[in-house]
Chain A
Amino acid sequence: MPEVNDPRRGRVNSLQVVARATAGLWHGFMMVLWHLGRRPITEQYPEYKRSLPERTRARIILTRDPDGEERCVACFLCSGVCPVSCISMAAGEREDGRRFAPWFRINFARCIYCGLCEEACPTLAIQLTPFYEFCEPDILTMVAEKKDLLVDHGGKNHDYNFYRFAGVAMVGDKGAHVDEAAPVDLKSNLP
């Protein structure tokens, strides 16, 4: 469509301009008229709640691995990548030597639901869920502790167990994990 006011194109017939504007106006009116007769598609929230896709980014959970153990190993990658610094935690060693987070805190009042934490998480522990309905009058109640975040399922992946691939002796001894050879025998000279 030629640009009306483009000086390079020279003078444009003003009658053409008027005709096109009028057609546009009428098009708009007709559209409204057409929609008047249709069934409304607006969904009334909260009376109607639509189910959101699984990938929707809202409230964060901490999931468990297939053995029921906490997946989080407190590696600090989510807190490191968080652009608004809303995740904080401490790392500790459980009695059996497993690395875990003694406390884990997400300030949902500060969270922007960008999902970078989920992307950074090497153990699939931290996951964003479609649950978005949590408004609180007191901002401090938006600060979620580990007990608020931890769930008893695997979230979007029920099969993955980080320790089966990592190579540290945690689920099974050395050499018992995926793609591992038996440990080197130091007292043997055989090749």
Chain B
Amino acid sequence: MPKLIIDQRSIEVPAGTKVIAAAEKLGIMIPRFCYHPGLGSFGACRMCAVKFLEGPVKGIEMSCMEDARDGMVVSTTDPEAMEFRQYVIEWLMMHHPLDCPVCDEGGHCLLQDETVSGGHGRRRYLGHKRTYHDQYLGVFVQHEMNRCIHCWRCRNFYQGFAGYRDYGAMQIGNRMYFGRYEDGPLESPFAGNIIDLCPTGVLTDKPCRFVGRRWDFERAPSLCLHCSLGCNTTGSARYRQMWRQEGRFNEMVNGYFICDRGRYGFAYESHPERPRRARVAGLEVAWAEAIQTAAEKLSQIAATAGPAAVACLGSARSSLETQATLQRFCRALGWSEPRYFSVPSQERQVKAAIARLEAPLAVSLREIETADFVLVVGADPVNEAPMLALALRQAWLKGGAVAVLDPRPVFLPFEFEHLPLAPGDLEAALEALTAGAGGTDLLAGGSPWPLLPKIAALGRRLTQTQRPVIVCGTGIVRESTPGLAADLVLRLREAGLNAGLFYLLPGANAFGAGLLSPAGEGLTPLMEDLETGAVKALMVVENDPFWDYPDRGRLVRALDKLELLVALDYLPSPTVQRADIVFPTLTLFERNHSSFVNQEGRLQLAPPVHLGGMPMAQISPEKHPPRTFLSHIPGGEPRTPGEILAELAAAMPAPVTLPGDDLWDWLSRKNPVFANIVSLFESPPGARLIPEAVPAGTFSPAAAPAAAERPPDYLELLLVDLIFGTEELASYSKHIQPAEEPPRLRMHPADAAKLRLSSGDRVALRLLGGTLEVDLQVAENMAPGVLVLPRHRQLNWRLAPDYRVMVAYGDIVKVEA
């Protein structure tokens, strides 16, 4: 641990720390442009020059390029260093345009700050200013190359950190250009980060173009709800509307960066059709009247048909507060327990994963970066949990290896081993790996499975590592797969490896929903209850079965049998449009604090960004604030589901009081993992809602590993996620919609050859509920025997009876143009 002195203060830092980072630990921010703690040193801008007075290095040196070493005495305020930095600023400003007033970076521009603090004011160079042509970089990033100071941060992130190649540096010296070879949208789904990284206004946020200055925004830490990873963001709102999300540093979760789905998915919050008033039978009514009507009708149905006739459906995207209040509400009124998933298989998968995630096994996204081998089972990181792909790349950059067992044509921005196994074979592969880790010779039995030698080789590599991590998805796998992944981790730990487990879940708070769902098999699936008529009234809290239920026909028939459908939501979803009574709710950006549990059990709190209400741009035809004084916020009627449920409970004929302030106490009495919730809030990134117990492995005796039997002439249809277009909240975002790629059905060349189909063909897929037409793409790198179809919002995929459907060859026909 080298010990050095910076500005007369001594500090001891781990070996390998740069002087600029050591100074930052002391609270001294050395000016910099190219250095970024998430990207490391580069030495391009010469801005972080300091004077080394004593020690192994002497004189003016770049603090981002020098490792902290024993005996160093550094002065950041030495006149010589200050003068050097003043010259650097003057050089950088030589070609910088004077367009700060029309630049969106103005106000939070690092170059602006350093110019002012360096005292530079007048350009002494008499030559012409260098100019560049700008490029169209897609719908997210605005390019204004004249402003560039050649710090390389964008390229270092785009090619180095994220691993995409279509954006980079061109030309040399003073003519250097950062852009693409030709105009076109940036291919990386992480491209938005170069906006945050750009120290000046070359790359700015396009959806937030010309909206406001940093000092005018209402800003607060927030969370991303667009996958289960729970990345931390900073939200910016102005005039009652969210405008921008940026990555916020969280050491254990996302680091510094976020993906574009998280960055631009927020606009569901200001969707023009978002419900803002309470509605009864399609008509807007006074809030109290809607509460009264709902309470009367619900209690009437509960009184006549029994309390089991009223069902509540929560969701995996609600906050933990909402989920818990819903359960408390149902218990207080004596109704049956709420469900949180409309698709029963999802609920079972989530519960299977949560049941096996214990503190010693669980790893965070950050810990994956230090793994030396990551085995991804049944997950497509870029599409299901994009930041996981970047974490895997960091592991790969540090010398780790990544192997993916997944039927889909998985793409990752680095070299990895892909074994395209059918979903049914994933379990056999996991069992084989577990057996192999236990010492069984997999190839001894002479199994006819052609992929077994590869799996056996993978198993041998796995056992030779130190810190392997098993990543297990829950999107397309069987319900018992998460348990098998946990078994493999336990077996590896028995073998002396420091193995970790990382699940992906469907929904930002699927973990919370799983914790609150009844244990075991629990309730009969909601659809069956609706179909038999056992449930006559349904209250849907921030859920939209029309979004994720695979069988649209069955869902409509079941909902038609209902006497009453009450919806609480902030999305203009089909469920809300169909509901008899609608209560508008608040998004996580508005007025209240909400907590979410990410897929590793980490409880995170999201404070409100603004107070809510109708965006200014939507309230007056002149698009300016009204010229009258109001005593209320227009469109400010929505409340949290917790408040609405408390009002409903109080309005019942036999009123029940739902106290709002002891929710955490109530939760900790219900489930022991909630018991240390207080300490979670005291150390936000540090603790998780998972049991501390050291689990014992229960290994089933290794059966002979073999591929699962598949009926001939059938293809298994997999309904999968895409980065844009399949996630519910982001699909309502007007910023994401133009970035969506047209959905395609993907198929293995062998299957395509049998069906005489080729890429680009229009294919009709006959499913139980009707025929679906979609373009075909033949993909080499996927498993034979499966069809991969995105659950895209533009696609009527809800014709399948289930998430797991077998499609006969005869049901896939080419549509002649």
Contacts and interface: CB of A to CB of B under 8 A. Distances in A.
Same assembly:
yes
Given A105-B624, A184-B177, A179 B129 contact: yes
Interface string B163-187: 0000000110001010000000000
Contacts of B100: 75, 122
Interface in A76-107: 76-77, 79-80, 88, 90-93, 99, 102-103, 105
B171 A93 contact: no
Contacts of B129: 167, 179-181
A140 interface: yes
Contact of B623 (A103, A122, A179, A184): A103
Interface in A147-178: 162, 165-169, 174-175
Contacts of A73: 101-102
A99 B177 contact: no
B101 A167 contact: no
Contact of B130 (A74, A102, A145, A181): A181
A73 B103 CA distance: 10
Interface stretch (B39-47, B209-217, B303-311): B209-217
Contact of A140 (B171, B177, B212, B627): B627
B146 A168 contact: yes
A141 to B, nearest CB: 9
Contact of A102 (B99, B107, B134, B623): B623
A166 B170 CA distance: 25
Contacts of A79: 216
Contacts of A162: 101
B210 A99 contact: yes
A166 B98 contact: yes
A183 interface: yes
A174 B99 contact: no
Interface in B89-122: 97-102, 106-107
Contact of B128 (A92, A165, A179): A179
Nearest to B215: A80
Contacts of B128: 179-181
Contact of A182 (B97, B131, B215, B625): B131
Contact of B146 (A90, A92, A174): A174
A92 B216 contact: no
B101 A123 contact: yes
B580 interface: no
A143 interface: yes
Nearest to B216: A76
Interface string B733-773: 00000000000000000000000000000000000000000
A181 B131 contact: yes
Contacts of B132: 174, 183-184
B144 interface: yes
Contacts of B546: none
B106 A174 contact: no
Given A162-B101, A184-B132, A90 B177 contact: no
B623 A77 contact: no
Nearest to B96: A167
Given A75-B102, A182-B131, A167 B216 contact: no
Given A162-B101, A166-B97, A91 B210 contact: yes
Contacts of B131: 167, 174-175, 180-184
A166 B212 contact: no
B38 to A, nearest CB: 29
Question: In this complex, which of A73, A91, A92, A93 has the most chain B Cβ atoms within 10 angstroms of its Cβ?
Answer: A91
Nearest to B172: A189
B622 interface: yes
A184 B177 CA distance: 9
A145 B623 CA distance: 12
Interface string B200-232: 000000000111110110000000000000000
A181 B101 CA distance: 22
Given A75-B102, A80-B213, A91-B211, A103 B624 contact: yes
B212 A76 contact: yes
Contact of A167 (B146, B175, B210): B146
Contacts of A186: 133, 170-171, 177
Contacts of B616: 90
Contacts of B133: 174, 183-184, 186
Given A167-B146, A174-B131, A181-B129, A93 B101 contact: no
Question: In this complex, which of A103, A123, A165, A184 has the most chain B Cβ atoms within 10 angstroms of its Cβ?
Answer: A184
Contacts of B161: none
A169 B143 CA distance: 12
Contacts of B210: 74, 91-93, 99
Contacts of B99: 166-168
A108 to B, nearest CB: 14
B144 A168 contact: yes
B414 interface: no
B212 A91 contact: yes
Nearest to B133: A183
B302 to A, nearest CB: 49
Contacts of A143: 627
B239 interface: yes
A167 to B, nearest CB: 3
Contacts of A90: 211, 239, 616-617, 623-624
A16 to B, nearest CB: 59
B698 to A, nearest CB: 62
Contacts of B107: 76, 80
B216 A80 contact: yes
A99 B171 CA distance: 31
Nearest to A176: B131
Nearest to B624: A103
B113 to A, nearest CB: 15
A165 B170 contact: no
Nearest to A146: B624
Contact of B622 (A88, A93, A103, A168): A103
B145 to A, nearest CB: 9
Contacts of B216: 76, 79-80
B766 to A, nearest CB: 46
Interface in B500-524: none
Contacts of A175: 131
Contact of B97 (A76, A99, A168): A168
A167 B98 CA distance: 7
A123 B728 CA distance: 44
A102 to B, nearest CB: 6
A87 B212 CA distance: 14
A140 B616 CA distance: 19
Nearest to A181: B128
A162 B134 CA distance: 20
Contacts of A169: 134
A122 B146 CA distance: 19
A93 B627 CA distance: 24
B127 to A, nearest CB: 8
A167 B97 contact: yes
Contacts of B211: 90-91
B146 A76 contact: no
Given A80-B213, A102-B624, A180-B128, 7 more contacts: A75-B106, A77-B101, A90-B211, A165-B98, A167-B99, A174-B131, A182-B131
5 pairs of A and B residues whose beta carbons are closest in the complex: A167-B97, A103-B624, A75-B101, A181-B128, A166-B99
11 contacts: A76-B215, A80-B216, A90-B617, A90-B623, A103-B625, A167-B97, A168-B102, A180-B131, A182-B131, A184-B130, A186-B177
